[in-house]
Amino acid sequence: MKFTEEHEWLKVEGELIVVGITDHASSQLGDIVFIELPEEGTTVSKDDEIVVIESVKAASDILSPLDGEIVEINEMLVDEPSKVNDDPMGDAWFFKIKPDNSEQINEYMDEAAYTKLIG
């Protein structure tokens, strides 16, 4: 897995990259009450705002970590956004992206570097 400074995680799954938020981000946000996910088939550029999360504490935007096409979204989160609080690093992933350049993922931190960042 790789991690962004914006507290997203990225996991390679074949030719796709699965993206979600970290435990740290989930706990900082508090109880999540709404998530707006991008449309499947949307072409995005790195740093585009593509997910909106609202919690009891704040609203946040998730930025695309990569250039590519959104090929799948986690429909479960639309009806049950609180699942992100239960399992942010597992079942509560946000979307899968087919990257234009799979090497972009190498720009991000490994787990040790991310742990140091939030430490």
Nearest-angstrom CA–CA distance, 60 and 63 = 10
Identify the pLDDT of residue 31: 95
Identify the pLDDT of residue 58: 87
pTM of this prediction?
Answer: 0.94
- Residues of the chain scoring pLDDT < 50: none
In a domain, residue 68? The reply is yes
For 112, which DSSP code? H
CATH of the domain at 52: 2.40.50.100
In a domain, residue 46? The reply is yes
* Count of structural domains, the chain: 1
**Distance from the Cα of residue 29 to its chain's centroid:** 14
For 18, which DSSP code? E
In a domain, residue 107? The reply is no
In a domain, residue 108? The reply is no
**Distance from the Cα of residue 55 to its chain's centroid:** 16
In a domain, residue 109? The reply is no
Nearest-angstrom CA–CA distance, 119 and 111 = 12
Identify the pLDDT of residue 57: 87
Query: Model confidence over 38-66: pLDDT tens digits?
Result: 999 999 999 999 999 999 988 999 999 99
In a domain, residue 77? The reply is yes
In a domain, residue 119? The reply is no
- Joined together, the tokens standing for residue 118 give 């939030």
Q: Is 7 helix (H, G, I), strand (E, B) or coil?
A: coil
Domain that holds residue 45: 2-100
In a domain, residue 118? The reply is no
